[in-house]
Structure 1
Amino acid sequence: MDGKLRFLVIGAGQRGVSYANPVSQMAKAAIYAVAEPVNFRRQHFGKTYIWGQDGKPAAGQEFSDWKQWLAWEIERRELEGAGKTVPPGVDGVFVCTLDAMHVEIMLAIAPLNIHVLCEKPLATSLADCMSILGAFSRNPQEKIFSVGHVLRYSPHNQLLRKLLLTDRVIGDILSVEHTEPVGWWHFAHSYTRGPWRRATDNKDGSLLTKSCHDIDFLLWLLSQAPDGADKEISAHLPKTISSTGALNQFKRSRKPKQASEATNCLACPYERQCQYSAVKIYDDARLAVGHTHWLNHVVHDIEDTLHLSGVDAARRSLYANLEQDYIKGVTPDEEIAKRPWYGRCVYESDNDVCDDQVVTIKWDEDNQSPLYRPGKLATLHMVANTEKECERRGIIYGSHGELSYNGKTIRYFDFVQTQETVIETPDAPEFEQKIKSHGGGDRGLTTL
């Protein structure tokens, strides 16, 4: 560990793992500590990335929540300042908790003057974002403050930006159609049954939690100057931004008549015919075939149960969670809202976020810039019911050509040469594909 930058991960879920995995492979950095309230997740994360399968955590490496770590770190610094011998602290923190928790954590750790990467979105309101920015603006410039807008950092998107802005393979960009296909089962899991199914107090919903980094991706391509351009050249900012969306699929009026009054998949007569069946999604398509990714959202220790006690015990644990339900008008709303309900009928859930939304961004012509930038238009379409899961795709129309992309392949056609060029970009490592690492963007941002 000597000479390496030490990092704490707050939140050992999927996003925490997505950042910890590439850090653990770096020569000059290491995951040193974890703060996570779910015991199984904390232990599994620690054994995988910190103290090893047969080891035990040292002082300052394991915490049940971020506040426990913060109190420990403040005391450690006080003792160190008094000349006492203390365990090492961390040089940086990855904040990978639920969105609504970000602002409290970020404001609390800002005075520590350490490197920070906060998972997107930074916060769930503009006021909270500005508060965080103000708190961190007081820190020295050499400390890194970053937000997990990882789409910028995938090899595919890095090449895409170079082709468009540096090589100008289709000339000036005039129009962009970008689609975020969430995935039919993924939307049901996360945004209908899961923790992001309700809009925030500011009425922000799935667009913020799922696609804010798609907006960042578009601004990165269309507003920022090309790499190597004069740093004095200002960004080409949009003139207008508008959005419209709706909840069209996941609501009671769309419920199949054959499902009758059932509110839970385990008691539904239509379960075998329903594409959103929790039994199909979590057992048939996952547990039954040994695929446990995402199942730990439903049962935190299911992988441990499967390994130690077998598939039947894991299935009993899974179904015990899926059969849990509530009664509208009887169960207090605060009880319903505070947890996911993965066995709940998607047509009977308490979700209210859009499952289909379009954002339109318009730029006016900028003929004062030395780059001369024409007016342009971009649309982002976030849509739930898709075959592909988070495999972004789009078409970009230029003054001299047309380009399409899908996260793996970039194809462009030159109007002048009447010639097509196709480029295949390399796949992310197998583990990163499994955990949906944004085409290597998680690794790209972490190891930058």
Structure 2
Amino acid sequence: MKELSFLSIGAGSRGNAYARAISTSTPARIAAVAEPDPYKRRIFGEKYIWGEHNSPNPSQEFESWTEWIDYETKRRSEPDSESKSESGVDGILICTLDETHITILTALSSSNLLDLHVLCEKPLALSLSDCLSVYSTRKHSNTIFSIGHVLRYSPHNLLLRRLVREQKVIGDIVSVEHTEPVGFWHFAHSYVRGNWRRETESGDGSLLTKSCHDVDFLLWLIEAPCYTNFTTTDTTSINGSGTAEYATTTTIDDDESTKPSLKLRSIFSTGHLTQFTPHRKPPAAGSATNCTSCPIERECIYSAIRIYRDNHLYQGKTGWPLKIVCPDIEDYADPKAAEDYLLSTLKEDYDVEEGEGAKGNTLTAEEIADRTWYGRCVWESDNDVCDDQVVVLSWDTIPPPPFNSNSNPNPATQRRKAQANKSPPGITATLHMIAPTESQCTRRGRIYGTSGEITYNSSQITIYTFSTKQTRIIDVPKQSPEEEEAHGGGDYGLARGFVGAVDAVVNKGWGVERAQREFVGCDLEEVVRSHGVVFAAEESRRGEGVVKWEGWWRGMLGTAGI
């Protein structure tokens, strides 16, 4: 049995999340890291690869992913090279900034490294054409490919889907309402001051970078085949007290032929940037563009000093988001030194207009967009992504249920039959991504069924049954704090699924298709299609129209030559 090993490209928050999950909950190991920041690279390596008191060898650390590709290409092509004695990794984790995913995936292809298994953080790419390019290149690759759609893998959501789809506790799904409450200060951190504050070149924004896995969650919940995931506790029942009971048996429900199928019919979206705009700036803030010089900083709910210093540094919290602002903040043992370092970072600012340069820091628009500004006034930032967006999805049921009528139907019945044939029954779903919320990424929703309804949040599932008029509340069993904080266990579920699939292929002789389906739960085609729905929603938002999915998607595939 080979011990599986992986390279992490990127040593930021997502790289650490997957490395931690793989190292602590699977038999595999992280064998190498490619990261340009020497501090992040060293800390990552000490945690997961070479240890705190050792030095890395040449096969374990790289200053860039291109350096690793050069190393790996040489290792494979030169039998007598020093690196040939080192065993290569089985796969890679792509945990870099969104815009680099396509560059890395393309480079792997052009370097003949398509034999490596891949876990790529979401989104797959920032344009549909790039997503389709990945699919075209990798669809015949005999390797596992997984994407960071972590909502599919949390114990809470697996239980929710099992109750709805397999146990049908509320009958057939009629409609789903799903909300992604980003959190008022979290949105300011990531989508006003941070890396994801600007629309992509194709005009896509926060729906892609923040909520593409919420769109994927709805597709998975409603229409995807019910393949039970091997990597989580599988069979669930609800006892009389409403407590979830878990067993360890495994079932694979791959007979979808006898079940009604769904066809995605239409997509509509609308959204706005409403909260973080110049016209909402309090007059008392005057001309201040930075929290460290703002006269009303103490009163502002979006004060960077309040968010990062008062609510995190002063509370002894040096992880996310403080570590994003100051990656090496933990190196400052002296509290005063740490505070000075943080405030000096928050003071960094820029002048927009050329010629003035009063602060001596006039920058071009490109220079401003290329970096983060965590002390910048939220009403004076260069953000342009939606902070409030709604997506509406509609499916047809294919084939429609038979229409029951007597042998001599009356005219009213005839009309109803004609209407049913014209407009078959279906399902609707809405996603609401909203920034100004108390909750931070603790999704909530309601599922309406033919015989009951379900409400859910991150910790409870409540079932109401029409026939009995009774309510059951199911408390999802708590995980370890570490797993709970990692997207409700989704990071760990995703990592275990990916490693499990690779292990099945490498050590158990499984075919890739079977391992992909049973451990990852979806294939690359489904990943790309899920992204396609996001891009269609953004086209709808920009064009203020409805996208008819089937023709639209067929056209996109045709344009890409697929």
Q: What is the TM-score when the length of structure 1 is the normalising length?
A: 0.94
1:282 is matched with which residue: 296, 301, 308?
308
Deviation at residue 79 of structure 1 after TM alignment: 2.0
> Distance between the aligned counterparts of 1:58 and 1:300, measured in 2?
24
Deviation at residue 15 of structure 1 after TM alignment: 0.8
Aligned to 1:248: 274
What amino acid is aligned across from residue 325 of structure 2 in structure 1?
V
Aligned to 1:325: 349
Aligned to 1:147: 147
What amino acid is aligned across from residue 2 of structure 2 in structure 1?
G
1:301 is matched with which residue: 318, 328, 334?
328
**Contact 1:38/1:300 (<8 A) preserved:** no
Aligned to 2:255: 230
What amino acid is aligned across from residue 441 of structure 1 in structure 2?
G
Aligned length: 438
What amino acid is aligned across from residue 13 of structure 2 in structure 1?
Q
Deviations 1:395-426 (A, max 9, x none): 01100001011021001101012211111112
User: Runs of at least 4 residues of structure 1 off by over 6 A?
Assistant: 81-84
Deviation at residue 427 of structure 1 after TM alignment: 2.9
What amino acid is aligned across from residue 121 of structure 1 in structure 2?
P
User: Cα gap change, 1:303/1:235 in structure 2, threshold over 3 Å: closer, same or farther?
Assistant: farther
Aligned to 2:481: 430
Aligned to 1:109: 108
**Pairing 1:214–2:214 present:** yes
Deviation at residue 161 of structure 1 after TM alignment: 0.5
**Contact 2:262/2:397 (<8 A) preserved:** no
**Contact 1:180/1:390 (<8 A) preserved:** yes
Deviation at residue 369 of structure 1 after TM alignment: 8.4
**Contact 2:6/2:30 (<8 A) preserved:** yes
| Mean CA deviation greater in 232-241 or 113-122 | 232-241
Deviations 1:15-63 (A, max 9, x none): 1111111110245300111111111111111111111111111221111
Deviation at residue 368 of structure 1 after TM alignment: 5.2
> Distance between the aligned counterparts of 1:84 and 1:447, measured in 2?
29
Deviation at residue 266 of structure 1 after TM alignment: 0.3
User: Cα gap change, 1:365/1:290 in structure 2, threshold over 3 Å: closer, same or farther?
Assistant: same
**Pairing 1:291–2:314 present:** no
3-state SS of paired residue (1:447): helix
User: Cα gap change, 1:439/1:27 in structure 2, threshold over 3 Å: closer, same or farther?
Assistant: closer
Deviation at residue 134 of structure 1 after TM alignment: 1.5
Deviation at residue 80 of structure 1 after TM alignment: 3.6
Deviation at residue 314 of structure 1 after TM alignment: 1.1
3-state SS of paired residue (1:390): coil
**Contact 1:240/1:363 (<8 A) preserved:** yes
3-state SS of paired residue (2:262): coil
**Contact 1:259/1:268 (<8 A) preserved:** yes
Deviation at residue 116 of structure 1 after TM alignment: 0.1
> Distance between the aligned counterparts of 1:27 and 1:395, measured in 2?
34
**Contact 2:26/2:496 (<8 A) preserved:** no
What amino acid is aligned across from residue 244 of structure 1 in structure 2?
T
Structure 2: unaligned runs, 5 residues or longer: 228-252, 355-362, 403-423, 498-562
Aligned to 1:123: 125
What amino acid is aligned across from residue 488 of structure 2 in structure 1?
G
Deviation at residue 305 of structure 1 after TM alignment: 2.1
Aligned to 1:439: 488
Aligned to 2:283: 257
> Distance between the aligned counterparts of 1:84 and 1:389, measured in 2?
46
Aligned to 1:46: 45
Aligned to 1:79: 78
User: Cα gap change, 1:123/1:369 in structure 2, threshold over 3 Å: closer, same or farther?
Assistant: farther
> Distance between the aligned counterparts of 1:305 and 1:78, measured in 2?
45
> Distance between the aligned counterparts of 2:185 and 2:340, measured in 1?
22
What amino acid is aligned across from residue 349 of structure 1 in structure 2?
S
**Pairing 1:311–2:313 present:** no
> Distance between the aligned counterparts of 2:99 and 2:202, measured in 1?
11
| Mean CA deviation greater in 375-384 or 358-367 | 358-367
> Distance between the aligned counterparts of 1:55 and 1:393, measured in 2?
46
Deviations 1:148-193 (A, max 9, x none): 1110000000000100011000001001110000011110000000
Deviation at residue 366 of structure 1 after TM alignment: 2.4
Q: What is the TM-score when the length of structure 2 is the normalising length?
A: 0.75
**Contact 1:172/1:400 (<8 A) preserved:** yes
3-state SS of paired residue (1:285): helix
**Contact 1:3/1:28 (<8 A) preserved:** no
**Pairing 1:397–2:448 present:** yes
> Distance between the aligned counterparts of 2:82 and 2:332, measured in 1?
46
**Contact 1:18/1:432 (<8 A) preserved:** no
What amino acid is aligned across from residue 109 of structure 1 in structure 2?
L
**Contact 1:225/1:234 (<8 A) preserved:** no
User: Cα gap change, 1:97/1:235 in structure 2, threshold over 3 Å: closer, same or farther?
Assistant: farther
2:396 is matched with which residue: 356, 364, 373?
364
> Distance between the aligned counterparts of 1:26 and 1:437, measured in 2?
13
Q: Percent identity?
A: 51
> Distance between the aligned counterparts of 1:245 and 1:23, measured in 2?
37
> Distance between the aligned counterparts of 2:373 and 2:82, measured in 1?
51
Aligned to 1:135: 137
Deviation at residue 4 of structure 1 after TM alignment: 1.1
| Mean CA deviation greater in 64-73 or 190-199 | 64-73
3-state SS of paired residue (1:25): helix
> Distance between the aligned counterparts of 1:29 and 1:211, measured in 2?
30
> Distance between the aligned counterparts of 2:207 and 2:90, measured in 1?
33
3-state SS of paired residue (1:24): helix
> Distance between the aligned counterparts of 1:169 and 1:229, measured in 2?
20
**Contact 2:396/2:427 (<8 A) preserved:** yes
